[in-house]
Amino acid sequence: MKFAIQINEGPYQHQSADSAYFFTKAALAQGHEIFRVFFYHDGVNNATRLTTPPQDDRHIVNRWAELAEQYNLDLVVCVAAAQRRGMVDEGEAKRNGKDATNIHPRFRISGLGQLVEAAIQADRLIVFGD
């Protein structure tokens, strides 16, 4: 089965970020395909490279990055939601006159069209969070 994953909640504030990660990891281990993981609303906070949890806590951003590296996952961050939360990649920083970036390099910023395409291409769109 081919899944698209949508994550609407940020890390460390809601269980849905962890649930989405574990679902995705289990689906991949069972041989399913993940067409795309789309981070929306507060879910974009799962992509910040500035996250520094305590050493004895899980590092959700790194977990996603490592899973993406292992399975060549497409991790997409909604551009509008990211900009509202002060998150930019190199292109958006330049375009908006910002002097720094904070998106982890394994993630990419794009628009809602990427979510629509994922929903069309996948057999199922699974949404985590409100």
- Annotate 79-108 with DSSP letters as a single string: HHHHHHTT---HHHHHHTT-S---B-TTEE
* Residues contacting residue 93 through CB under 8 Å, at least 6 positions apart: 99, 100, 101
Active site residue 107: no
Choosing from 27, 77, 78, 103, the catalytic residue is: 78
Show which residues are catalytic: 78
